[in-house]
Amino acid sequence: DTSIVVLQNFLGRLESELKSFDNNKDVDFNEEKSKNLINMIGKSLKELKIKGKFLYMPIRASITGKTHGPELPMVISILGLKNCIQRVNQTLEYIKNNK
């Protein structure tokens, strides 16, 4: 399922970003950094031909619970890395338990 691939990739990148900061504290992860993160995910999944709504919708649904809304970089920067990681983990756990 492409949604799982996208979310696992997104989660891995979020966790890597969080580890790069001191003491794993929730840092200022601004919109520009969020945009770069999403672009990196898009590039890494390009070979699997996952792009557009198939890339963005699983991320948005996982972190906001909705399929439409404000720009993802803004949402990610407002929620923060730890909150996004927690929400993606919850989504992946839900998918795993409800297959």
Domains and CATH numbers, the chain: 2-97 (1.10.10.350)
Residue 72's pLDDT is 93
Written as one letter, the residue type at 58 is: P
Helices 81-97 and 72-79 pack at an angle, to 10 degrees, of: 100
Helices 53-64 and 2-19 pack at an angle, to 10 degrees, of: 60
Q: What is the pLDDT of residues 8-32, one digit of tens each?
A: 988 888 888 777 765 555 566 789 9
Per-residue pLDDT of the chain (99 residues; tens, 9 = 90+): 889 999 998 888 888 877 776 555 556 678 998 898 888 888 888 888 888 898 899 999 999 999 999 999 999 999 988 899 899 999 999 998 997
Residue 1's pLDDT is 81
Residue 40's pLDDT is 86
What value does the mean pLDDT of the chain take? 86
